[in-house]
Amino acid sequence: MTATPPKILIVDDDVNIGNLISRFLQKKDYLVEYANDGKTAIEIFGQFKPDLVILDINLPDILGYNLCTEMQNTSDVFVLMLTSRTDLEDKKKGFITGADDYITKPFDLEELEFRVQAILKRQRTIKSCDENVITVDQLVINPETREVKVNDQIINLTTLEFDLLYFLANNPGKVWRREDLVTNVWDNNPIGDNRVVDVHIGQIRRKIEKDSNNPNLILTVRGVGYKFDI
């Protein structure tokens, strides 16, 4: 029985770039759909249910950051941002909103495919059963439903934030260097800067800690990295 090829949605306001990537990936046997604005992208997204979205930031009706968040609020879709924005702060914002990778224009089609392959090899869903649910005081992390609750209130995390939190919580007490977290959670170094880990840790703390400036769960080990304390 032949496996269904991965489905990729390309969202870019430049029709020439959209068509170029579409033809290239179709030749590589991916199922591809294309949208040149956010409204069309959301319509296609709901029907097509892609495995991966290649997403530009500068769209005519919405910023790609917001579209990334909207898509990941309803699914665990992978997102690869492809944009002309090269500033480090733009890249960090992309990862904060849930991007799995970030490529700047101009780009090489072969490199794009390598990145697509690397992302699609990741397993977003963690095999689990009830005993894999992690409970620490009022924090509950369920890897099967990918839900996080604090005081019985669901906390909205991006997919990368959930992956990072679950990885740390599933290895309590162990100190992880930033580069080790990048290797285990991202599978690669997304922007060549391990400080992206600090950005995500800060976001998670603001969502789950009583006082993010004095955290009790995710602790900083000075000069080394982070650990989850229980």
State the Cα–Cα distance between residues 146 and 123, nearest whole angstrom.
13
Q: Which fold has domain 130-228?
A: Arc Repressor Mutant, subunit A (1.10.10)
Whether residue 84 contacts residue 70, with contact meaning beta carbons closer than 8 Å, is answered with no
What pairs with residue 78 in β-bridges? 52
Nearest to 182 by CA among 204, 201, 206, 169: 201
The dihedral sign for the CA sequence 100, 103, 104, 105: negative
Q: What percent of the chain has pLDDT over 90?
A: 53
Q: What is the pLDDT of residues 39-97, one digit of tens each?
A: 999 999 999 999 999 999 999 999 999 999 888 877 888 999 999 888 888 888 888 88
Does domain 7-120 fall under CATH 3.40.50.2300? My reply is: yes
Give CA–CA dist 102/196, Å, rounded. 12
Question: Which pLDDT score, from 0 to 100, does residue 123 have?
Answer: 56
Between helix 64-73 and helix 88-96 the angle, nearest 10°, is 20
Task: Label residue 149 by pLDDT band (50, 70, 90).
Answer: very high
All structural domains of the chain with their residue ranges: 7-120, 130-228
Q: What is the C-alpha to C-alpha distance for residues 93 and 65, in angstroms, rounded to an integer?
A: 8
Closest CA to 35 of 52, 58, 19: 19
Q: What mean pLDDT is predicted for residues 19-38?
A: 95
Q: How confident is the model at residue 193 (pLDDT cuts 50, 70, 90)?
A: low
Q: Could you report the per-residue pLDDT of 157-170, keeping only the tens digit for each?
A: 888 889 999 999 99
Phi, psi dihedral angles at 141 (to 5 degrees): -120, 115
Predicted local confidence at residue 127, as pLDDT: 43
Q: Is the dihedral of CA 214, 69, 141, 166 positive or negative?
A: negative
